[in-house]
Chains A and B, each alone.
Chain A
Amino acid sequence: MTTDPMTTDPMTTDPITTDPRRPPQGRRWLTGLIEQRLLPPDEVATLCVGSTARGWATAASDLDVYVVSETASAHRGARVPVPLVPDHVRTVESELEGRRCEVTYWTAAQVDQMLAKVGRDRLDRPDTSLKPLTDAEELFLERLGSGIVLTGAQQVAAWRAAFTAGAYRTFLAARAVAESEGKVETSRALLSAGDVESAVLVARLAHAHAVDAVLDHHGVHGTRTPKWQARRVRDAGLEVLTFEDYWTVQSMRDLVPGQEPRWVGTVLARCEGLTLAVDLGREP
């Protein structure tokens, strides 16, 4: 390190305070990263991401950090392939304040490439897939929006603006709608074939996808981390998707033994109601 990111951020001399959601430990985490030489000299931005950034962490949760630099990291760590240039990222495991910490190193060029993959211009291209991003890329962009900025506030703000102007939410909502529709069809077929138990389980999956579609449509992302779906539904507070209705289906608490086909029918109708609440040509 030749510079101290705590004092050289272009936005302010105290960049950690620029994020109103920052936890009080933010400065200490940054200091810990610097002391462990985990920030490269050409670092552009550092974000605390994942459950900690969203305020959902438990005592057992990892601390996830994304570091973005101008060039590929020279740190030793696991090499994770990505369909970008450079063609990989590195992850380094460490410990901060007694918590396991995983630092993932990206480059600024990789961020730009990921944003370009979900640009609005991609929506009309015939060769565009419903899944233009790999899971790791999708997770990065989701976390870009929800992460707590430790350094590089100005650059992160620019990326976030590009993210918002792009079609990420439309891609994700369209994919979730398609996945829900496919499961609805499968569940109906299973019911017709007399496999009631499988029809029930697939109907529940269809509902989970339909819920993702509504959440993604409203910019509440997190498909890659399904364990947090209930949190996302509760936090979103959408009229079209109340937590009570959501939890009634996902917990299957209204499934009466012996009346599975009826339950499946109700859930599948609810799935369609949710997916048709997602206007793929118009963002809310």
Chain B
Amino acid sequence: MTKLLSEKFYTAMKKLEPRYPTKKALILPALHQAQEEYGWLPKEVLGEVAEYIGVHSAQIREVASFYTMYNLNPVGKNHLKICTNVACCLRGADELMNFAEKKLGIKCGETTADGMFSLTEEECLGACTTAPAMMANDDYIEELDVNKLNQYIEKMKASK
């Protein structure tokens, strides 16, 4: 079977192997690396990670499904994760979520038809003193307001 994951994946894993006493400990790093290549974790990729670790693919799925950051379904090119936990809530996160839903024309948890944006509600991001905050893919955007969010979405739309 042809490999789905690149040489880069296998090189990164080889480098990490001596840093753990068991190969299973590489499951989380491997899933992060695989998702970085694919954007999400299709069944076939989970299977290849399983083969690399040397466990059944169900065991990889069991682990992957526990953690919210592993996308078991495709996500948009720009994945907006708005924190709506206490500190952000007190500083207007609900308003931001309503705005994003209207602006993107989707509900929280959905992806736009063109695959450009996914919108999800996030639990506490650890940016409480600069609330409200969101993650856009891997980046934090803090001290948000509707204006700043609007500008960000416009910028991402323009950078197609």
Q: Are the chains A and B members of one assembly?
A: no
